[in-house]
Amino acid sequence: MKIKDIDTILNQEQFSKNDLVYLLAANKEETEKLFAKAAEIKTKYVGNIVYFRGLIEFSNVCRKDCLYCGIRCGNKKVSRYTLTDDEILEAVEYSWKNNFGSIVLQSGERNDSRFVERVELLLKKIHAHTNYEMGITLSLGEQSEETYRRWLAAGAHRYLLRIESTNRELYQKIHPADNHHEFDTRKEGILLLQKTGFQVGTGVMIGLPFQTLEDLAGDLLFMKEMDIDMCGMGPYIEHVDTPMYQYVDMLMPLKQRFELALKMIATLRILMKDVNIASSTALQAIDPYGRELGLKVGANIIMPNTTPVTYHQAYSLYNNKPTVNEETDEYIADLEQHIHAAGDVIGYGVHGDSVHFGNRINKNK
Ligand code: 5AD
């Protein structure tokens, strides 16, 4: 039997798990073809436009204990913070004044009623403060269907809930074995969000200990099957104060995890042509211009961190998480310049919603 070559695979419309593994294992020459194809599809289906989302990491208080994450509740070295409404509004205002079009509200996971209500009021406050012009994405973990409904009604319209890994065994290895950390509940969350009417994003970590290329191909097929609208995924980076640090010697070198993350972005762009794909902060943690490289291979979203810089250190999900102040004119000018060099323009003043979401809704009408 003739083994398929890269050109054949790249010109297909349907992809088997083996095809995806082939792409993720591509050698140097093949990777160039993969990246070029992803760039071509990006241009054709979502355009060479990058949308900014001003990221606000408004609290690191978390009820979860994920074994890879620096802000897990079991890490007693972290000093916990929660921004005031005024601090959050100030960050929102930065994005608004700079025409970013959207913000992302992210925090550790909490689902108590005080938290749910606070977010609901905050959403209303943000809209009132910015003349209802900003797109709002939430990244606040697993919640009840009612909570999702309340937050949608209060004006959020996109939600990120990373599945982290779709190999159940691996999922169990990287989470504590209790009923707070169940794969099925997390997956159910994605379905509930879709049912509620959100544009829904998910994502995984790349280069986890024990993870194989087959696992990553399975992750991509999961995204396709779930018909997700957005994706944010990035390299796994060890954090010294986490249980998973014990596996540090098993990990691929950072540069290789970075390369693999770029291949995942490119392969997803080929598999799901019209979704929004974020170029994650974890790419930037490995290479200061890592996010711009992501744009060249299929990503179309960047989330400049607009959290007040004094809190960056306390939101250390992993080692070397960037702590630069991105809320300055110089930083944005530099980012702009690098985005232009990557061949993209910036979609200022618009929400930059997922094209896939529009197509999904029309298809299901
Ligand atoms: N390395 C990379 N990404 C991480 N995250 C948490 N910990 C790490 C880590 N050590 C990611 C998870 C989570 C998101 C907010 O940050 O995917 O969903």
Report the separation in Å between the CA atom of 236 and the middle of ligand 1, taken as the mean of its atom positions: 7
The conformation of residue 238, written as its DSSP 8-state character, comes to -
126 pLDDT higher than 80: yes
d(CA 301, CA 103): 12
Nearest ligand 1 atom to the CA of 164 is: 17
User: 0.85 cut: is pTM over it?
Assistant: yes
Dihedral in degrees, nearest 10, Cα atoms 118, 327, 109, 102: 70
What is the per-residue pLDDT for 329? 87
CA triple 104-318-250, angle to 5 deg: 135
Is the minimum distance from the CB of 69 to ligand 1 under 6 angstroms? Answer: yes
Ligand 1 pocket mutation, candidates 60, 69, 264, criterion most atoms within 8 A of CB: 69
Residue 2, pLDDT > 70, answer no
pLDDT band at 364 (very low <50, low <70, confident <90, very high): confident
Mean pLDDT within 279-287: 94
pLDDT at 105: 98
Q: How confident is the model at residue 313 (pLDDT cuts 50, 70, 90)?
A: very high
DSSP 8-class letter at 78: S
If you average pLDDT over every residue of the chain, what do you get?
A: 96
If you take atom 16 of ligand 1, which residue's CA is the nearest one?
A: 317
Distance 125 CA to ligand 1 centre (A): 29
- Tell me how many degrees the CA angle 84-88-92 measures, rounded to the nearest 5: 165
pLDDT above 60 for 1: no
- Among 107, 204, 318, the mutation site with the greatest number of ligand 1 atoms within 8 A of its Cβ is 318
